[in-house]
Structure 1
Amino acid sequence: MWKPDRAAKKPIYQQITDYMERCISFGEFPPGSILPSERKLADLLGVNRSTVLQAYDELRASGIVESVKGSGTKVSKLKWGITPSQTPNWKQYVEGGTFLPNLPFIRRIREELRKGERIIDFASGELSADLFPNQIIRHLMQKQPFQEQLGYEDPQGFSPLRESLVSFLAQQLNINTTDSSILITSGSQQSLYLITQCLLSPGDAVAIEDPSYCYSLPMFQSAGLRLFGLPVDEHGINPEDIITLHRQHRIRMLFLNPNFQNPTGGILSAERRIRLLEIAAELGIPIVEDDPFTLTAFDGNPPPTLKSLDTSGNVLYIGSLSKIAASGLRIGWLIAPQAVVSRLTDARQQMDFGLSGIPQWVANQFIKDGHFEQQIILLRQALLHKRNHMIQGLQSILPDYITFTPPQGGLNIWCNINREFDDFKLLNEAIKRGVIHVPGSVYGSDHRSIRLSFARPHIDDIIPGLKLLKEAIQLISS
């Protein structure tokens, strides 16, 4: 986001005037479009509202913009020699299409984080900068320079990387597969997108956990799928609920996150895992196992994945480096029957001709040389330390407001607030104070729940952040 230069000789209002005029001339604000309100633009640029008013006055005086009573300030349609009939209705285009925008809460959170201002981030499901293996990656690239060809990579993924994953998954998670059954993707999101677009049809009924990360993904609605929730308790979903849902809606696929579930942090019990796999096999329903967190088990003993227990070939397994190593590499993987991999590879090739070979080469070196295993060991220790620090803070600062169950892995703590409140107001009040979280309603849950990530904030910010959150809760619930 552009910001005025306070050290420049040109007045700030004039800098804003020039900037807005450039945006308009470059088509970022087409003729007839509504400009941000004075208050919103002032907040975005970190200036007084009066400064923005002065800039808008300059633009009005030159005829570039005009004021419309009840509608704000809009770009003139005639200043640039363009008649209304020649101007595309960009609003109509933006609101069209089949791919839906993110939920309002998600857009609000990302908008705040993009500002780059000082805010304690309990919202991002990502590691803090000090937990990324930056030095190892730099060392790998210096030690053995990239020597692969720079043409289009195999759309199924860099073959050496797929081979390294076969060994790694067998050793770490007892998942037995072959390199021909692995598709390398740009992360779990792309794996889910390919599945929803290629293996399902509009109108198909799918079951997801309730609450679930999937509720926050508009890609399911964009694909025209009908979502049905499977309530999650302290032992995960109840597999018998699948039978009921299937009778009522003919469920075509299950999307589950059994280990350290996002957002609750829960683990599907061993007995329910076995029953789940039995029911899925009896009904012929595929299970998509999204597994970003199993390897973070704080005790060093990861619970078994569904894929490792699957004897019927019902489970499509999704993994990724994003949550536990390096999100910037954009490396994920999907394990599926070869016919499915072939179908998704074909679709993936139509999308982008395959992932860049450079990050795949780096990821292969990272995994093959044993650095990923070492990263996991160090990460478990660091996350456990942060988790314990947040638990101590919640118990000492918010004991009268929040209840929670300590997670045994993952990046988040799922909290229930024992007060009635408006979750949008709580988010806004928290942001005003310099702390941000994810409301539970994003995950289809009761609005009195929130998700707090302990992975992203610096450990020294956790306690101050919880104090700020308490102030916001007290204000909106008083």
Structure 2
Amino acid sequence: MGGEANRVKLGLPTDWKPDKQADQPVYLQIVAYIKEKIASGDWPVYRSLPPQRAMAEAWGINRSTLITALDELKAEGLIESVVGSGTVVSNNTWSLLSSGEPPDWPSYVRLGEHPSNTETVQDINRFESDPAIIRLGTGELSPRLLPYRETEDILAALRGKLSNLGYSEPKGWLPLREAVSAYLKTRGIEASPGQILVVSGALQALQLVSQGILRQGSGILLERPSYLYSLSVFQSARMRLLGVSMDEQGIRPEALARQKQLREAALLYTIPSFHNPTGILMSAERRRQVMAICERERLPILEDDAYGELWLDEPGPPPLKALDQKGLVLYAGSLSKTLSPGLRIGWIVGPEPVIERLADVKMQTDYGASALSQIAAKEWLEHDRYLRHLAMIRASLRERRAIACQALERWFFDLAEWQVPQGGFYIWLRLKRATSARSLFSRALAKGILLNPGYIYDHTDARHLRISYSYAAEEELEEALFVLSQLLRDSL
């Protein structure tokens, strides 16, 4: 009893000892115990700790083990040695009490559900922000083509007229959906505002579809190559991407029918107008064939029409949605490729029950698109300024296409093959001889040129490059193509 009373007098526990059989080392158990005593206030600041000999005897441990524990606490700033007082509590700050080994964040990153981009795509995303780099593959309008002044005028005209900067209703701001509905009629699409969901772009439309109406493990048919192979939006939702071959008119109907019969598929994702990355324009006849197959197989279609208005020689055939008589097609449109990627406004059109479901999912993820962006987009679409802007963009892209094609004819006539695109942003350049595409990417980057190699759109492709004439300045476009031709000649 005398020993127990002495321990109580010294402030040592009568019912606690370190567990020498536990996985945690004894000295760490002592560190945790003393931290708990300090945190609870039992051992306040300036309180002297019991003598080391008494603690070691009470806990049945070697003094060397105790000293290791106390040194750890001293290193964390919780105790200190004071002449004449022994060891005292010096701090009870919570930030120190909770200090210790940081979380193993790398393991969290490795265990995350969303797959990482490939190394090349991560490099592209990283170097696109470098102003010294010539972006030869970027699928955006050049900063020189963005309508800064017109957008400023629109925003300035809103002075005194803003009535709502809060959250909009789930489907998006009604006046914008009404403007989109009116605009879609010029594309041959009849859609009421209730059949339209405002999204931040075509990519969000894909995410909502994969999360909202498809089951995990569903098969997604799509052109091969395809922009989607460079993303993880469907893979992160456990979808299976099932490639369908193409020809110069677009997705091949017999291959589509065969794929549907051989594998259970939930959806066809297609970019029929100025396809990304090949630039192919699906012919009117081919569109009718694809629609007939999907109607027969009851296979829904997700049509990505981000480039449909960017025809350069003559308008392309109407969208698949304009041919849809059975509510088969979900139609995704966007202002990112035609007006401004920074506006972050697009839409998805479909049967109202589907749109209601996607709107509900969207509200769970971002609570609606930017109110200010929706107001600006409505002002663009309600007046003929958008059609005038499109005419200017087409004229500029026509000139840029000519520059790119002339440079290719001059420096790539014996290195590659290509088709002159009828619209969109891209030339799908096929190298006549295979080379190490990753090595070419790295060597071009060392020269200040950022490429989009074909293998990011089809991992088996070592022969193609996606050449964009939409982004780089005209003089940089010529320079980059010349340097690229020299790199190819060096490698061959």
Larger radius of gyration: 2
- Identify which of 205, 230, 237 aligns with 2:219: 205
Provide the C-alpha distance between the structure 1 equivalents of 2:112 and 2:468, rounded to a whole number of angstroms: 33
Shift of 1:241: 1.8
- Deviation (angstroms), 1:220: 1.2
- Find the counterpart in structure 2 of residue 319 from structure 1: 333
Query: In structure 1, what is the equivalent of residue 42 of structure 2?
Result: none
Of residues 249, 252, 256, the one that matches 1:238 is 252
Equivalences for 1:44-193 in 2 at 5 Å? 86-114=101-129, 116-145=130-159, 147-171=162-186, 173-193=187-207
- Over residues 374-423 of structure 1, what are the superposed CA-to-partner deviations in whole Å (9 max), with x where a residue is unaligned? 11111110001000110000000111111100000001111001122111
Match of 1:451, as an amino acid? R
Aligned partner of 1:390 among 404, 417, 430: 404
SS for the counterpart of 1:228 is: strand
1:59-84 CA deviation, whole Å, 9 max, x = no partner? xxxxxxxxxxxxxxxxxxxxx98999
- Structure 1 match to 2:468: 453
In the alignment, which residue of structure 1 is the partner of 2:79?
Answer: none
1:12-51 equivalence runs, <5 A: none
Q: Quick one: structure 1 residues 182 and 83, their matched pair in 2 at CA, closer, same or farther if it must change by over 3 Å?
A: closer
How far did 1:103 drift?
2.1
Structure 1 residue 267 corresponds to structure 2 residue 313: no
Residue 375 of structure 2 is aligned to residue 361 of structure 1: yes
Q: Does 1:304 align with 2:318?
A: yes
Work out the CA distance in 1 between the residues paired with 2:257 and 2:426. 30
Matched residue type, 2:436: D
Aligned mates of 2:99, 2:258 — CA distance in 1: 55
Deviation at residue 86 of structure 1 after TM alignment: 3.2
Structure 1 position 212, deviation (Å): 0.5
Deviation at 1:463, TM superposition (A): 1.1
What TM-score comes out, normalization by structure 2 length?
Answer: 0.78
Distance 1:82 1:117, change over 3 A: farther
Q: What is the SS of the residue equivalent to 1:319?
A: strand
**Aligned residue number for residue 210 of structure 2:** 196
Q: Look up the SS of the partner of 1:317 in the other structure.
A: strand
Give the CA deviation at 1:85: 7.1
Kept in 2: contact 1:162–1:184 (CA 8 A)? yes
3-state DSSP of counterpart to 2:303: strand
User: What is the identity, as a one-letter code, of the residue corresponding to 1:151?
Assistant: G
CA distance in 2 between counterparts of 1:166 and 1:300 reads 24
C-alpha separation in 2, matches of 1:232 and 1:89: 46
Maintained 8 Å contact 2:283/2:317: no
- Structure 1: any 5+ residue segments left out of the alignment? 1-79
Amino acid at match of 1:265: G
Match of 1:4 in 2: none
Which residue of 2 is the match for residue 469 of structure 1?
A: 484
The corresponding residue for 1:411 is 425
- Report what 1:432 is aligned to: 446
Q: Which amino acid aligns with 2:254?
A: E
Question: Which ranges of structure 2 fall in alignment gaps of 5 or more residues?
Answer: 1-94
Larger CA deviation: 177-186 vs 273-282: 273-282
Give the residue type in structure 1 aligned to 2:229.
Y
Structure 1's consecutive aligned runs of 4 or more residues displaced over 3 angstroms after TM superposition are 80-86
State the shift of 1:243 in Å: 2.2
Maintained 8 Å contact 1:155/1:355: no
- 1:235 Cα deviation (Å)? 1.2
1:209 touches 1:237 (CA, 8 Å); kept in 2?
yes
Q: Structure 2 CA distance, aligned partners of 1:125 and 1:394?
A: 19
Which residue of the partner structure matches residue 336 of structure 1?
350
Work out the percentage of aligned pairs sharing the same amino acid.
34
In structure 2, the partner of 1:62 is none
Helix, strand or coil for the counterpart of 1:140?
A: helix
Paired residue total: 397
Partner of 1:39: none
Q: What is the one-letter code of the residue matched to 1:185? A: V
User: Larger deviation: 315-324 or 85-94?
Assistant: 85-94
Does the CA contact (< 8 Å) of 2:281 and 2:316 recur in 1? no
Alignment check: 8 A CA contact 2:444 2:487 kept: yes
Matches of 1:84 and 1:472 in 2, distance apart? Answer: 53
| Aligned amino acid, residue 219 of structure 1 | V
Cα distance, 1:148 vs. partner? Answer: 2.2
